[in-house]
Amino acid sequence: MTQRNKSVGVFSPVVLSLLFATAAPAASPAELDAAAAQTLKNFYADSTKHQELAQTAIGILVFPRIKKGGVGIGAEYGQGVLQVHGESVAYFKLAGASAGATLGAAGRSEVMLFMTPQALEGFMNSHVWTVGVDADVAVVARGAGGNYDTETLKKPILAFVFGEKGLSADVSLAGTKITRKPS
């Protein structure tokens, strides 16, 4: 093993340890509600279309801050709240791992809109819900001119990733696991 490979092998666990050490403390429901309110405010300010979509959504899952990082082997973690009709109904944690495609450290916010009762019910009835396995989540991105792809907007679950800070070469949501936090 070369010196470079040794340092990468040591660096990855260090990055993962730091990532989870800073993300590990559980936020209280009041803290998550306040952070979610600010995140939604930022989300709506980004585009008038966001508020229109949110008003038609059956439920909104908000992760105010998701931390992700690693070198070769990566991890991500965040805490969030599910709102139905503007009321917080449950709290969740998000965790994921990847191998081979991650480089760097970053933070982001994420809002998932459940556009159908079936999509929300499937999410609520899952003990562990995995993006790409339990549900096909459409990651919504703006195209040229700031317009959204209308076919994407017809999907039952829409995910918006925004507020990225830091550097990371991996932006995939596939394989991300979301579990309900105990009440």
pLDDT tens figures, 6-28: 434 444 444 444 444 444 578 89
Domain interval for residue 101: 3-180
Q: Give how far Cα 104 sits from Cα of 15, 67, 76, 96, 156, Å.
A: 9, 11, 12, 15, 32
**Confidence (pLDDT) at 161:** 87
Q: What dihedral do alpha carbons 122, 43, 23, 27 form, nearest 10°?
A: -80
pTM metric for this prediction: 0.79
Across 84-96, average pLDDT: 94
Domain count, the chain: 1
